[in-house]
Amino acid sequence: MVSINVSGIPAVCSAATCGAFTIETLALTPAVTSVAPYANNKIQAMLGNDVTIVGTAFSTDMTVIQVNFDYKLCPVKSATATQIVCTAPDLPYGVYTMKVTFTDHGYAAIPTTFRSVIFPIQINSLSLRDGSTVGGTIVTISGYGFSANSMVVYNGVEYWDVIGYSNGNLTAVTKAIVGEGSASVRVIESGATSNCAVSGTCTFTRRS
């Protein structure tokens, strides 16, 4: 029974059941039992990829389901009584906490094992693979785990000027360099350095 007091005087209920409040049993509480993809004790989430949440007592109504990785929504694309699929949002490299909310039930029970979500960092492609030795070449780096605060490094020592970021695409301008040559491009975010999706695709060549 829920009661409300105003200045110490209990409110009167106009209906027989208006003061009733039921705490659901565990069987009726939504519960997460597994999440994929999963590796190294963390959920692995990459921009645009599916995150599949398996459990019990889920709603089939997507409008009442909300999946969050910290402050960011993971938009729900499908839902059944035992499975929710959402699309990983754009987040920089880091570890986030997953929360699943049902507006008609409250929070889902999530084991500690499935609460941590890691967003890795990786370069998938470069818009240009060569440029002038005098600099000024605009290169768009596509991948995930980036942000507007990411740093772009060429050959491990030269920092390019980042001029824009949007939805997995980081845009930077090359600087002048003495002599021709080829070297790798890397993105650094929150202390982590990107790997390259395919060997060689992160190589940029300077030509006179």
pLDDT in tens, 79-98: 999 999 999 999 999 999 99
Please check whether residue 119 is in contact with residue 97, taking contact to mean a CB–CB distance below 8 angstroms.
Answer: no
Phi, psi at 90, each rounded to 5°: -85, 105
Q: Which CATH architecture has domain 122-207?
A: Sandwich (2.60)
Can you give the pLDDT at residue 15? 58
Which pair of tokens denotes residue 164?
């824009």
Instruction: Please give the mean pLDDT across all residues of the chain.
Output: 90
Please check whether residue 194 is in contact with residue 122, taking contact to mean a CB–CB distance below 8 angstroms.
Answer: yes
Which pair of tokens denotes residue 89?
């949002």
Question: 123: how many CB neighbours lie within 10 A of its CB?
Answer: 24
Percent of the chain surpassing pLDDT 90: 77
Domain regions of the chain by residue span? 20-119, 122-207
More confident residue, 73 or 25: 73
Instruction: Of 188, 116, 115, 114, give the one whose Cα is nearest residue 145.
Output: 188
Q: Positive or negative CA dihedral for 40, 42, 48, 49?
A: positive
Q: Which CATH architecture has domain 20-119?
A: Sandwich (2.60)
> Measured between alpha carbons, how far is 99 from 43 in angstroms, rounded to an integer?
12
pLDDT beyond 90 at 125: yes
- Fold match flag (20-119 vs 122-207): yes
pTM for the structure as a whole: 0.81
> Measured between alpha carbons, how far is 171 from 174 in angstroms, rounded to an integer?
10
pLDDT beyond 90 at 27: no
Percent of the chain surpassing pLDDT 70: 87
Residue at token pair 């990786």 = 122
Digit-coded pLDDT (tens) for 165-196: 999 999 999 998 888 899 999 999 999 999 99
> Measured between alpha carbons, how far is 172 from 162 in angstroms, rounded to an integer?
4
